[in-house]
């Protein structure tokens, strides 16, 4: 019989607050990441600090917030009331300490658990907090959550408020880099939800006059069927329109200023209320899917002491608006059934456009119904009998699994590349989908092609996105192709597929390009993998005289042993992000007919395959 491990008082220890956060950061900020994804930890750190400044604005303290993000260092300065000087150290270093437990002071605050800035402090290599209040100031500086020094209270002529400066700890956030597009998106959401607030990001000012109406207008990717419906009430704001071309639903939802990217009670009710209101207005039992097809909507509500499903607050779990108020569902249903119905009665042209859209969706659904049934049966049979999809053991729709944010699907082409990734992946969280040759250029085609094309049908089925992203099985969808001309073409065709039929997958930050090394530079003592020509030159200089240089021409040339390094902790992902260009115009230019403008662009930027090989 095996000897039992000793269990004594020596086995039991108590962790300091910062030790627990650093040991289990995922409990506080979700996944860590390197900054390539919008939900990576470094952006949660920024958000936790800015949330406090937003709460000051909501409580009437200060209309301007300054944010600076440079060289991996974040500075946030607000002009609110300022932290009470005697509590400057406590509020950023003592768990369960903060004003937000007093619901009189922060009735509809974003953060209610007193943890946010403590997590930022603990997970930063350097953290400075300074409060300005009543002509006086006090500061404290920490390293990895441990107090390094604090100043005495002194006189100050600076405007009241709070300043926080922090550097994410590189030992926790390995190779991190802020993608400013994600920070800008965060800032835009703050100003959309807080009329009258100005935020300066690296010196550029952000401001919104029309709230959620501006949010929709600034994020439209194509033509719409009618003007944006914009409704505002006490504790609720709604904006709504319908896309001309896209068939998918698209929602932006917020609770107390927090972007709930995974939705929750309020977003589900918004979708339900839209259907019931439209049916009531037209007196017809239209199919819910036909009513919601091509919807672009946004909803923001304010709830007393909201309950979220995690510290990162991406999904609302609350059922009630507050201790004495109605349920969230009743509140939203009653509001929309009254205010949206009134709007449609007053704006008959908008109502007629919505009804035309519903009838068109109904015809399209009936035309597709037979094909969809056959395609689903084909996909189900294919999943049982082929090896296009090597699945992982964790699925995204299992919301209780702690590693769901890590789930990744690699889309690759060719047996050798698929074999290398399959052999070296983490079978718990990483899956592989193998393409057979180049996908079809689907620009300008209808949704019918998704069901008729076996490759697209199986990919749609693997991702489980036919009816939207609610049951998306993988948080990260990664295009893994060779860095040659053919590989680049496959990337472009896949991106076209997603933008044409599932733009929300790209818009919500789930699509990436896998970056793999182009060169291996080594001598007998050391091996360095290089992702571009400049890294190769630096490696050659470091290793000295005549190192061995290998140029990887394809993913299949990288052995499974080596590949494990590039899809594990050191993975480099380049996010596919949408700028301000409209998707329709973007696809028309790059994937439409061979226009003179595109010919001119290609000639001006032409590089033959030899150039790509020689210059990486």
Range from 222-231, 341-350, 531-540 that averages highest in pLDDT: 341-350
Query: In terms of Cα–Cα distance, which of 41, 252, 241, 25 is closest to 145?
Result: 25
Q: Higher-confidence residue: 304 or 296?
A: 296
Rounded to whole angstroms, how far apart are CA atoms 439 and 448?
A: 15
Question: For residue 101, what pLDDT is reported?
Answer: 46
pLDDT tens string 420-466: 899 899 999 999 999 888 889 888 888 888 888 888 988 998 898 88
Please, what is the average pLDDT of the chain? Answer: 85
First to last CA, the chain: 60
Is 158:62 a contact under the CB 8 Å cutoff?
no
Structure tokens that stand for 602 in this block:
């290609």
- Mean pLDDT across 506-521: 90
Domain with CATH 3.30.565.10 in the chain: 17-206
The CATH classification number of 386-516+552-615 equals 3.40.50.670
Pick left, alpha or beta for residue 141 (phi over 0 → left; psi -120 to 50 → alpha; otherwise beta).
beta
Domain with CATH 3.40.50.670 in the chain: 386-516+552-615
3-state secondary structure 138-188: EEEEEECCEEEEECCCEECCCCCEEEEEEEECCCCCCCCCCCHHHHHHHHH
pLDDT tens string 264-283: 889 999 999 999 999 999 99
Q: Using 50, 70 and 90 to split pLDDT, how confident is the model at 1?
A: very low
Whether domain 212-364 has CATH 3.30.230.10: the reply is yes
- Mean pLDDT across 188-205: 95
pLDDT tens string 308-361: 776 566 777 767 776 667 888 999 999 999 999 999 999 999 999 999 999 999
pLDDT tens string 10-40: 655 566 778 888 888 888 888 888 898 888 9
The CATH classification number of 17-206 equals 3.30.565.10
Q: Is 574 helix (H, G, I), strand (E, B) or coil?
A: strand
Domain with CATH 3.30.230.10 in the chain: 212-364
Is 482:554 a contact under the CB 8 Å cutoff?
yes
């Amino acid at each position: 019989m095996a000897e039992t491990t000793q269990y004594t008082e020596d086995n039991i220890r108590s962790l300091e607050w910062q030790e627990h956060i650093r040991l289990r950061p995922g409990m506080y900020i979700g996944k860590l990441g390197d900054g390539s994804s919008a939900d990576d930890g470094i952006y949660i750190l920024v958000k936790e600090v800015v949330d406090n400044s937003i709460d000051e604005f909501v409580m009437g303290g200060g209309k301007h917030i300054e944010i600076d993000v440079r060289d991996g260092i974040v500075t946030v300065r607000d002009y609110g009331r300022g932290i009470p000087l005697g509590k400057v150290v406590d509020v950023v270093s003592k768990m369960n300490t903060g004003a937000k437990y007093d619901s009189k002071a922060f009735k509809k605050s974003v953060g209610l658990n007193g943890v946010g800035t403590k997590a930022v402090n603990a997970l930063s290599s350097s953290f400075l907090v300074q409060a300005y209040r009543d002509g006086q100031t006090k500061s404290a500086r920490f390293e990895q959550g441990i107090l390094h020094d604090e100043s005495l209270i002194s006189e100050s002529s600076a405007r009241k408020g709070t300043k926080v400066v922090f550097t994410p700890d590189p030992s926790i956030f390995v190779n991190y880099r802020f993608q400013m597009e994600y920070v800008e998106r965060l800032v835009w959401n703050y100003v959309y939800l807080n009329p009258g607030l100005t935020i300066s990001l690296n010196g550029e000012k952000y401001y919104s006059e029309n709230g959620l109406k501006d949010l929709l207008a600034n994020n439209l990717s194509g033509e719409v069927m009618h003007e944006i419906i914009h409704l505002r009430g006490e504790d609720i704001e709604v904006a709504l329109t319908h896309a001309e071309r896209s068939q998918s639903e698209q929602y932006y939802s917020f609770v107390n200023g927090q972007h709930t990217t995974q939705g929750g009670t309020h977003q589900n009710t918004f979708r339900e209320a839209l259907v019931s209101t439209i049916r009531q207005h037209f007196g017809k039992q239209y199919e819910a899917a036909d009513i919601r097809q091509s919807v672009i909507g946004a909803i923001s509500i304010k709830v007393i002491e909201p309950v979220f499903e995690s510290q990162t607050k991406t999904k609302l779990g609350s059922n009630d608006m507050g201790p004495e108020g109605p349920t969230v569902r009743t509140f939203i249903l009653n509001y929309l059934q009254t205010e949206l119905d009134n709007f449609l009665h007053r704006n008959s042209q908008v109502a007629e456009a919505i009804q035309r859209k519903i009838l068109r969706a109904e015809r399209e659904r009936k035309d597709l119904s037979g094909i969809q049934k056959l395609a689903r049966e084909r996909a189900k049979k294919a999943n049982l009998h082929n090896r296009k999809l090597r699945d992982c053991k964790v699925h995204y729709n299992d919301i209780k699994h702690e590693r769901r944010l890590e789930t990744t699907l690699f889309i690759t082409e060719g047996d050798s590349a698929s074999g290398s990734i399959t052999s070296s992946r983490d079978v718990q969280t990483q899956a592989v989908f193998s393409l057979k040759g180049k996908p079809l250029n689907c620009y300008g085609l209808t949704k019918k092609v998704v069901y008729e094309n076996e490759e697209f049908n199986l990919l749609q089925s693997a991702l489980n996105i036919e009816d939207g992203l609610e049951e998306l099985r993988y948080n990260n969808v990664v295009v893994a192709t060779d860095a040659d001309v053919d590989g680049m073409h496959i990337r472009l065709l896949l991106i076209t597929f997603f933008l044409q039929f599932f733009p929300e997958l790209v818009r919500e930050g789930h699509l990436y390009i896998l970056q793999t090394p182009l060169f291996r530079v080594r001598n007998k003592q050391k091996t360095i993998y290089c992702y571009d020509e400049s890294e190769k030159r630096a490696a050659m200089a470091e290793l000295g005289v005549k190192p061995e240089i290998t140029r990887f021409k394809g993913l299949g040339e990288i052995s499974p042993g080596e590949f494990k390094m590039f899809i594990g902790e050191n993975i480099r992902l380049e996010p596919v992000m949408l700028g301000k260009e409209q998707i329709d115009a973007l696809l028309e230019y790059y994937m439409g007919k061979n226009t003179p403008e595109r010919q001119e662009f290609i000639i001006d930027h032409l590089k033959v395959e030899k150039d790509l090989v020689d210059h990486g």
